[in-house]
């Protein structure tokens, strides 16, 4: 090999050389058996031999060799590249040599910025050997460097597109293309794109789901697992995680971990992928995709929990609220809402006399703003009277006469055509009321009606709109639950039987029956059930409203 011809004025410079070598998965290919091969001309050893021979022939002083093996050319946050930049800033090297321009980088903007701006600003000579690029020479090869950088960038973009397409194809075929499988599963030794159950971990996962279904809170499960020193992900996979504050979490369960696992549909045998992705091939930042962009393939692997039980858990999860361990855990905690502002109603700790009161959380946050009122009513009275009323309703449902009435009403409600007509009518009525308000406001501005008249009509119209919207919401919910009434009623009567047999109902049972409870400022209580039959009984006989 012969040293490239240089200008006379650079022969006087003593060059302290840093050789930079990069090899990434872009430079790998597969053989017919799927084994990874490295293109010989791009191997680390080949680059090293080529560049050290060049330095020796030119009598330059070799300071260090910087190697980034397994790093993409679109990302410049490579360990040894950054170490080389630090050495340049310290004055250790004033010449950088790579095999070709693509070894420096494949992002044409960043590559051009280093070659044309950063290196000259820091008096660094750059040489891309096989591309005949030398920033110390006035050569035509230097003029085409930007075009070569652009071609390298286009190659990286095209490669990224092909890889992403291949991943999407595998995901849509129900193949696992993630990294580490979730707790409870492992990679099939015979097929890396298929998950199989991990016998050791799956026992823990099944127990966790069972505990939650039996009414244990997330915090109670965490306390139980930590007390029993149940193996965590970090223990079974022999990984040690450390938080930013230095606190070691090896072998410790947390509420976040339990909740994430309880919400993971993968445990039902369905594969959910493409939940996160990178912005593009140049940026490593990962963003969360919209749910409609997820790729879901059902029944791709053996389930740890049934879909029926998983559905029940998803209904229970929204009502799980994190509480201080010292506070008493209440049966209605998490399902109490303020009617006026729709925010949660909290339950205060018992006072010195043993009484417990409720309070609107929005009012507590902004007590002086008058956005809402305190709703400071007795929780104990609410719980006691509510359970007595529920018993009355459940006893009513046991009579044949009431069952007949309910079934007639259900048949009327479950008429698909009638419900759609009702919904359409309610939507039109709400739109008309809102349009009427707009006209009234214009009349007020034009002084066709006075302030007193406007306020009176405004208040009445707003009440009408709220009432119509409530009817619309209930009717839409009825339509949503259509078709499942028979199965729901079977489940309902099982729950009723369980409720009547218990001296005090469990929180799990309450959550299965009641969707939410809204408390008015005047102590009126609205209870929304998860079963249409209970809704009809409650609306027909007005059994629950005066429990406070």
Within 10 A of 291 (CB to CB), how many other CB atoms are there? 9
Residue 478 is assigned to a structural domain of this protein: no
What does the pLDDT look like over 322-338, one tens digit per residue?
554 445 667 888 889 99
Better-predicted residue by pLDDT, 485 or 338: 338
Asked if pLDDT for residue 36 goes beyond 50, the answer is no
Co-location of 432 and 375 in the same domain: no
In the three-class reduction of DSSP (H, G, I as helix; E, B as strand; rest coil), residue 259 is classed as helix
**Mean pLDDT score, 7-28:** 74
Contact (Cβ atoms closer than 8 angstroms) between residue 281 and residue 156? yes
Query: Which CATH number does the domain housing residue 15 bear?
Result: 3.40.50.1390
Which of 104, 198, 197, 221 is CA-nearest to residue 153? 104
What pLDDT score was predicted for residue 461? 83
What does the pLDDT look like over 127-170, one tens digit per residue?
998 888 888 887 766 666 666 666 666 766 666 676 677 777 88
H helices present in 305-378, as ranges:
307-316, 361-365
Residue 403 is assigned to a structural domain of this protein: yes
**Mean pLDDT score, 396-419:** 55
Co-location of 359 and 493 in the same domain: yes
- Beta bridge partners of residue 68, listed in sequence order: 22
Asked if pLDDT for residue 27 goes beyond 80, the answer is no
Instruction: Take residue 146 and report the two structure tokens written for it.
Output: 């930007």
Better-predicted residue by pLDDT, 440 or 339: 339
Contacts of 337 (CB under 8 A, 6+ apart): 343, 344, 345, 516, 517, 518, 519
Burial of 427 (0-12, 13-18, 19+ CB in 10 A): middle
Instruction: Take residue 127 and report the two structure tokens written for it.
Output: 């040489």
Asked if pLDDT for residue 63 goes beyond 90, the answer is yes
What pLDDT score was predicted for residue 362? 85
Co-location of 405 and 432 in the same domain: no
What pLDDT score was predicted for residue 247? 43
Helix, strand, coil in percent for the chain, rounding step 5: 50, 15, 35
Q: Cα(514)–Cα(528) distance, rounded to whole angstroms?
A: 6
Co-location of 458 and 496 in the same domain: no
What pLDDT score was predicted for residue 458? 81
Asked if pLDDT for residue 246 goes beyond 50, the answer is no
Q: Cα(494)–Cα(483) distance, rounded to whole angstroms?
A: 19
Residue 165 is assigned to a structural domain of this protein: no
What pLDDT score was predicted for residue 464? 83
Co-location of 240 and 300 in the same domain: yes
Residue 428 is assigned to a structural domain of this protein: yes
Q: Cα(139)–Cα(260) distance, rounded to whole angstroms?
A: 60
Residue 547 pLDDT class (50, 70, 90 cuts): low
Co-location of 403 and 530 in the same domain: yes
Which helix H or strand E contains 276, and what residues bound it?
strand 276-280
What pLDDT score was predicted for residue 105? 87
What pLDDT score was predicted for residue 140? 64
Contact (Cβ atoms closer than 8 angstroms) between residue 514 and residue 528? yes
Asked if pLDDT for residue 369 goes beyond 80, the answer is no
Residue 1 is assigned to a structural domain of this protein: no
Contacts of 447 (CB under 8 A, 6+ apart): none
Burial of 265 (0-12, 13-18, 19+ CB in 10 A): middle
Q: Euclidean distance between the first and final Cα of the chain, in Å?
A: 96
Co-location of 434 and 364 in the same domain: no
Residue 505 is assigned to a structural domain of this protein: yes
Contacts of 99 (CB under 8 A, 6+ apart): 21, 42, 47, 50, 51, 128, 129, 130
Co-location of 362 and 503 in the same domain: yes
**Mean pLDDT score, 387-402:** 73
Asked if pLDDT for residue 43 goes beyond 60, the answer is yes
**Mean pLDDT score, 525-533:** 83
Residue 492 is assigned to a structural domain of this protein: yes
Segments forming the whole domain that contains residue 257? 185-318
Q: Which long-range contacts (CB under 8 A, 24 or more apart) does 358-365 make?
A: 358/382, 358/519, 362/338, 363/338
Co-location of 44 and 71 in the same domain: yes
Give the range among 32-41, 119-128, 444-453 with minimum mean pLDDT.
Answer: 32-41
Residue 64 pLDDT class (50, 70, 90 cuts): very high
Contacts of 246 (CB under 8 A, 6+ apart): none
Helix 255-262 crosses helix 199-213 at what angle (to 10 degrees)?
90
Co-location of 393 and 511 in the same domain: yes
- Beta bridge partners of residue 516, listed in sequence order: 528
Residue 482 pLDDT class (50, 70, 90 cuts): low
Asked if pLDDT for residue 401 goes beyond 50, the answer is no
Residue 171 pLDDT class (50, 70, 90 cuts): confident
Q: Cα(378)–Cα(351) distance, rounded to whole angstroms?
A: 12
Asked if pLDDT for residue 113 goes beyond 80, the answer is yes
The rounded mean pLDDT for the chain is 79
Number of domains in the chain: 4
Question: In the 8-state DSSP scheme, what is residue 483?
Answer: T
Query: Buried (b) or exposed (e) across 301-321, using 16+ Cβ within 10 A?
Result: beebbeeebbebeeebeebbe
> End of a domain among 257, 288, 318?
318
What does the pLDDT look like over 254-311, one tens digit per residue?
888 999 999 999 999 999 888 877 766 566 677 888 888 888 889 999 999 999 899 8
What pLDDT score was predicted for residue 548? 64
pTM of this prediction exceeds 0.85: no
Q: Cα(101)–Cα(316) distance, rounded to whole angstroms?
A: 58
Share of the chain above pLDDT 70, in %: 76
Co-location of 224 and 272 in the same domain: yes
**Mean pLDDT score, 462-478:** 80
Asked if pLDDT for residue 406 goes beyond 80, the answer is no
What pLDDT score was predicted for residue 465? 85
Q: Cα(22)–Cα(103) distance, rounded to whole angstroms?
A: 5
Better-predicted residue by pLDDT, 399 or 361: 361
What pLDDT score was predicted for residue 20? 95
Residue 476 is assigned to a structural domain of this protein: no
Co-location of 436 and 520 in the same domain: no
What pLDDT score was predicted for residue 32? 38
What does the pLDDT look like over 200-238, one tens digit per residue?
999 999 999 999 888 788 888 998 998 898 888 888 877
Burial of 429 (0-12, 13-18, 19+ CB in 10 A): middle
């Amino acid at each position: 090999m012969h040293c490239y011809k240089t200008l006379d004025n650079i022969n006087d410079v003593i060059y302290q050389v840093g050789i930079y070598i990069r090899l990434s998965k872009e430079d790998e290919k597969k053989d017919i058996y799927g084994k990874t091969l490295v293109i010989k001309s791009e191997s680390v050893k080949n680059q090293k031999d080529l560049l050290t021979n060049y330095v020796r022939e030119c009598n330059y002083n070799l300071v260090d060799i910087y190697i980034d093996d397994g790093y993409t050319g679109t990302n410049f946050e490579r360990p040894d590249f950054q170490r080389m930049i630090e050495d340049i800033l310290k004055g250790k090297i004033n010449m950088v040599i790579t095999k070709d321009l693509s070894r420096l980088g494949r992002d044409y903007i960043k590559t051009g910025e280093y070659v044309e701006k950063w290196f000259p600003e820091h008096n660094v000579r750059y040489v891309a050997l096989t591309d005949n690029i030398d920033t110390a020479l006035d050569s035509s090869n230097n003029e085409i460097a930007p075009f070569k950088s652009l071609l390298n960038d286009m190659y990286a973009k095209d490669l990224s597109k092909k890889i992403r397409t291949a991943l999407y194809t595998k995901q849509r075929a129900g193949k696992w293309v993630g990294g580490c499988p979730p707790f409870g599963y492992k990679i099939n030794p015979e097929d890396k794109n298929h998950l199989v159950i991990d016998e050791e971990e799956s026992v823990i996962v099944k127990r966790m789901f069972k505990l939650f279904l039996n009414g244990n809170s997330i915090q109670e499960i965490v306390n139980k697992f930590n007390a029993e020193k149940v193996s965590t992900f970090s223990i079974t996979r022999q990984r040690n995680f450390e938080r930013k504050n230095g606190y070691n979490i090896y072998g410790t369960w947390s509420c976040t971990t339990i909740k994430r696992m309880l919400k993971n549909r993968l445990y039902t045998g369905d594969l959910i992928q493409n939940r996160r992705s990178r912005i593009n091939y140049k940026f490593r930042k990962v963003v969360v995709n919209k749910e409609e962009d997820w790729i879901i393939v059902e029944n791709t692997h053996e389930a740890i929990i049934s879909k029926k039980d998983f559905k029940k858990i998803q209904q229970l999860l929204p009502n799980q609220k994190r509480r201080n361990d010292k506070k008493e855990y209440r049966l209605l905690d998490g399902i109490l809402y303020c009617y006026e502002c729709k925010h949660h109603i909290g339950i205060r700790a018992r006072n010195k006399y043993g009484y417990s009161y409720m309070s609107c959380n929005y009012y507590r946050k902004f007590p002086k703003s008058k956005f809402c009122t305190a709703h400071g009513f007795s929780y104990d009275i609410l719980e006691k009277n509510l359970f007595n009323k529920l018993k009355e309703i459940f006893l009513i449902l046991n009579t044949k006469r009431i069952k007949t009435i309910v079934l007639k009403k259900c048949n009327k409600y479950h008429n698909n055509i009638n419900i759609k007509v009702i919904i359409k009518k309610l939507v039109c009525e709400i739109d008309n009321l809102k349009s009427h308000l707009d006209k009234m406001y214009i009349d007020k501005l034009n002084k066709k009606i006075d302030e007193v008249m406007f306020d009176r009509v405004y208040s009445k119209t707003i009440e009408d709109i709220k009432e119509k919207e409530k009817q619309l919401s209930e009717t839409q919910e009825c339509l949503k639950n259509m078709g499942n009434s028979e199965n729901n009623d079977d489940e309902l009567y099982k729950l009723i039987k369980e409720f009547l047999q218990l001296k005090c109902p469990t929180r799990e049972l309450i959550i299965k029956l009641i969707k939410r409870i809204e408390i008015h400022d005047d102590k009126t209580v609205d209870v929304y059930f998860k079963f249409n039959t209970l809704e009809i009984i409650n609306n027909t006989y007005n059994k629950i409203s005066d429990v406070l």
